């Protein structure tokens, strides 16, 4: 299983279809072993071995999956595809990320500084964008993971009647409030501690604005979880005189435990169609600070956190952090309100919404006793 939004959606939808008695065929590069335990599941694993980059891996999988589906499409009552993972039509696509929007952003790596690395991201984005623009408008049904994403799809002149919104979910048995041993987790003790989780190599998650805000908050420390190789932010923290208060943790698999050891969660992202980690922080009873650029912001009420309208407003971010940290009772109340919201967005509920949509539009209209569903991940 995975906590990444796209992979987790695929897993939960397949698991819910099995629970409801459908026959499920999975075409994927990676398949969770526990799904194979059901006699209702058939799997075709198409790993793109020997392909060194994401775009080549995607191309290899897309080609092989499309060829496979061309031969077997007649065997299924419903074909569900995660994003534009193949080069042919499906009954339902789930859109997790709209590449057109990110390509136009002034914060795309290519817009900031043309390099070989940013050129690669430009090529990847254009490749994914091409297939989204080709496949999505003619799809009978689209699922957007947030209302923000739905509006962006409508702006591309996709018929709004085609689009349903199903938010990503949170694993409530993993993300829940509690206490944690900071020392054991490598976190500073006896300080007010904020947490940032995300990509710290590219500028999309906007760690630099958070570091700038931290300069005016001398009593606040920040834990940063994300892959360190190639990240410019440790150097920036040093240049800003923050090395003693910014704690780079590297890539961590114990984020749920870390969340139980901090005081608040901050991610001033410049573009996120959802932002699952914010919902996970809310489930952990943390007050959250985010931006309108994140789809998950629609779930953050004034009682549960602070949503900033301008991702680049350092003063507004500074004030938001100060508002929460100056009065622990305010933060605690926000955390409790956020937890109540998150509990209505479990992965079980998310998966049920997908299967309800499938049944409403496709599966229950079929005469077969046990309809067959194909899921391409």
Summarize pLDDT for 159-168 with one digit per residue, the tens. 999 999 999 9
**pLDDT tens-place string over residues 33-53:** 899 889 999 988 876 555 556
Which CATH superfamily, name and number, covers 182-342?
Glycogen Phosphorylase B; (3.40.50.2000)
Q: How many CB atoms lie within 10 A of CB 50?
A: 8
**pLDDT mean over 112-119:** 89
Predicted local confidence at residue 172, as pLDDT: 97
Assign 3 a pLDDT band (cuts: 50, 70, 90).
very low
- Give the relative orientation of helices 328-342 and 276-283 as an angle to the nearest 10 degrees: 110
Mean pLDDT of 2-17: 83
Read off the pLDDT of each residue in 314-332 and give the average, rounded to a whole number: 96
For the stretch 252-311, pLDDT in tens is: 999 999 999 999 999 999 999 999 999 999 999 999 999 999 999 999 999 999 999 999
Strand order in the sheet with 141-144: 41-45, 23-28, 372-376, 78-82, 92-95, 141-144, 163-165
Strands 41-45 vs 23-28: parallel, antiparallel or unpaired:
parallel
pLDDT bin (cut points 50, 70, 90) of residue 1 is very low
* 3-state secondary structure at position 81: strand
Listed in order, the ranges of the chain carrying CATH 3.40.50.2000 are 5-169+346-376, 182-342
DSSP state of 184: H
- The pair of three-digit structure tokens given for residue 295, joined into one six-digit string: 């789809």
pLDDT at position 318 is 98
Cα pseudo-dihedral 13, 18, 22, 24, rounded to 10 = 70
Average pLDDT, rounded, for the chain: 92
Beta-carbon count within 10 A of 179 CB = 7
Confidence at 23, pLDDT banded by 50, 70, 90? very high
State both tokens at 355. Answer: 């299967």
Residue 2 has pLDDT above 60, yes or no: no
72 pLDDT exceeds 70? yes
Structure tokens at 88: 């042919």
Any idea what the Cα angle at residue 153 is, between residues 151 and 157, rounded to 5°?
105
Beta bridge partners, 93, equal 81, 142
Indicate left, alpha or beta for 211 from its phi (over 0: left) and psi (-120 to 50: alpha).
Answer: alpha
d(CA 192, CA 321): 11
CATH of 5-169+346-376 among 3.40.50.11540, 3.40.50.2000, 3.40.50.1000, 3.40.50.170: 3.40.50.2000
Q: Which two tokens stand for residue 46?
A: 């198409």
Asked if pLDDT for residue 193 goes beyond 50, the answer is yes
Decide if pLDDT at 369 tops 70. no
Neighbours of 229 (CB within 10 A): 7
């Amino acid at each position: 299983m995975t906590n990444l939004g796209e992979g987790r959606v695929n897993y939960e939808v397949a698991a819910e279809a099995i629970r409801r008695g459908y026959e499920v065929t999975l075409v994927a590069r990676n398949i969770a072993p526990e799904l194979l335990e059901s006699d209702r599941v058939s799997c075709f694993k198409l790993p793109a071995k020997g392909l060194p980059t994401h775009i080549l891996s995607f191309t290899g999988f897309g080609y092989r999956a499309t060829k496979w589906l061309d031969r077997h499409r007649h065997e299924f009552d419903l074909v569900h595809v995660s994003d534009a993972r193949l080069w042919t039509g499906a009954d339902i696509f789930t859109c997790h990320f709209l590449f057109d929007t990110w390509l136009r952003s002034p914060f795309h790596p290519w817009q900031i500084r043309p390099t070989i690395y940013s050129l690669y991201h430009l090529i990847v984005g254009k490749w994914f964008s091409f297939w989204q623009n080709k496949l999505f408008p003619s799809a009978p049904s689209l699922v957007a993971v947030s209302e923000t994403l739905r509006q962006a799809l409508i702006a591309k002149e996709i018929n709004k009647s085609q689009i349903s919104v199903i938010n990503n979910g949170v694993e409530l048995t993993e993300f829940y409030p509690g206490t944690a041993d900071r020392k054991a987790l490598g976190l500073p003790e006896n300080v007010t501690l904020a947490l940032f989780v995300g990509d710290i190599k590219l500028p999309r998650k906007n760690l630099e604005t958070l570091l700038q805000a931290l300069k005016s908050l001398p009593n606040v420390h920040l834990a940063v979880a994300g892959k360190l190789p190639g990240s410019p932010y440790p150097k920036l923290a040093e240049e800003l005189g923050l090395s003693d208060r910014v704690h780079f943790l590297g890539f961590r698999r114990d984020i749920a435990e870390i969340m139980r050891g901090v005081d608040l969660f901050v991610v001033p992202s410049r573009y996120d169609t959802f932002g699952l980690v914010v919902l996970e922080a809310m489930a952990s009873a943390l007050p959250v600070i985010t931006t309108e650029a994140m789809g998950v912001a629609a779930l953050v009420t004034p009682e549960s956190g602070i949503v900033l309208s301008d991702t680049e407003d350092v003063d507004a971010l500074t004030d938001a952090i100060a508002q929460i940290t100056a009065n622990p009772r305010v933060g605690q109340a926000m955390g409790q309100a956020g937890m109540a919201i998150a509990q209505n967005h479990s992965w079980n509920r998310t998966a049920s919404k997908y299967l309800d949509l499938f049944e409403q539009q496709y599966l229950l209209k079929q005469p077969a006793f046990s309809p067959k569903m194909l899921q391409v991940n």
